[in-house]
Each structure stands twice: as structure tokens, then as C-alpha cells.
Amino acid sequence: MLEPGPRTPPASAAALPGTSDPAQTDVIADLVARARITDLIADYAQVIDWLDWDRLDSLFWPEAQFDFGMFKGDFGAYRDFVKALEEGYSRRLHMFTLPSIRISGEEARIDVGCVIVCRTAEPAPGSDATFWGRYLLGAQQRGGEWRLSELTYVLNLGGVNPRDGDDTGGPMNLGDGLSVAHPYAKKLSLP
């Protein structure tokens, strides 16, 4: 399992030095919330790309709802859906844009664009699928911790390109078979 970044802020922004002014306290609390939510989005991409299923629970509240169009359901059903979907690819890459985050109290709404590239190996030589879209997310803070409470995926454009041949013999490090057991995963662990 890869190590997630912390998402639980101090008990209050007032605990931070130099925040006796209420306006500064509010600004700092807002910045901390935005940083925590942005971390959730980055961690989501990492969990999916590295098949780090043990960390998936730490990103979503248990009653979170999901809508991909082809799949709608609760967290338990989503867990099975996404695992079966992503493990079918030999390469995965989820790239997110900077998120647009709107916060009201302990609720947040997020709109984040993404490009997803997935490779299948079969039938040989395989194909690369690219999806351009966005995630519309809900997040909630409970007990000082932010987690995602809602995920809707909206597809803008998709395409599949058959591969011409095998590219695994080249001079580059390739993202084939990424998982928490992959040797490259060690490069993400802190000492």
C-alpha cells in the first residue's frame, strides 16, 4: 500500500501561529480545506493507476454515491466495478486538471477535468483508449477529515487506437503492470 498524504487538518485554523484575526483564520481554513480536497483528487488518481485498493476506503465516505452512466451505485458496488474495470488494463493513467472547488461550511462541490489513457494487451498487439472528460465530485468534512461523498463522471470525447506493434522492447521505462507490488511503487514510499 502506498502512503497517502494527511487529510486531517489541525482542530482549527486558529491553532496555527499568527491567526488571531478572524478574517485570516477564515482564509487559512479555506486554503487548508482546498489543499485537503485537492489531495483527495490526486490520491484518487494514484489509487486507481496503481491499483491500490486498500486505500480506496480512505478517499470516500461509506455512503458515497457514484454515476458513470454505465454504472450507478453505492460505494460497495463501485469498489467491485472499478476494480474489475481497471485491472483489465495493462496500463492506466488518470491526469487531472486543477480542480474548481466551491466550499460552503463542511460541504464542497468540485469540477475537475481529466484525460484518461488505458491500454489493453489483448487481442495482440492491443489498443490504447483515451477519454477526455470531467469528474463532478461532492466532498464532506466530518470530524475534521475531508472525504469524497459523490462522484459523477461526464465523458466529453473518447477514442480507441489500435497499436501497430509491441513497444515494450524500447529504451523507456514503461507503465505496464503498475500496482502496489510493482518495483516502481517503492519510489513513492517515504523512508
DSSP state of 23: H
Contact of 34 with 103, CB cutoff 8 Å:
yes
Domains defined along the chain, listed by start: 13-169 (3.10.450.50)
pTM: 0.86
Residue 136: the pLDDT is 99
Model confidence pLDDT, tens digit, residues 75-99: 999 999 999 999 999 999 999 999 9
Residue 1: the pLDDT is 53
C-alpha span between 158 and 46 (Å, rounded): 21
C-alpha span between 139 and 142 (Å, rounded): 10
Residue 12 — pLDDT band, cuts 50, 70, 90? Answer: very low
Query: How many residues would you count in the chain?
Result: 191
Residue 10 — pLDDT band, cuts 50, 70, 90? Answer: very low
Strand (E) or helix (H) holding 81 = helix 75-86
DSSP, collapsed to helix, strand or coil, labels residue 20 as coil
- 98 by Cβ neighbours in 10 Å (0-12 / 13-18 / 19+) ranks as exposed
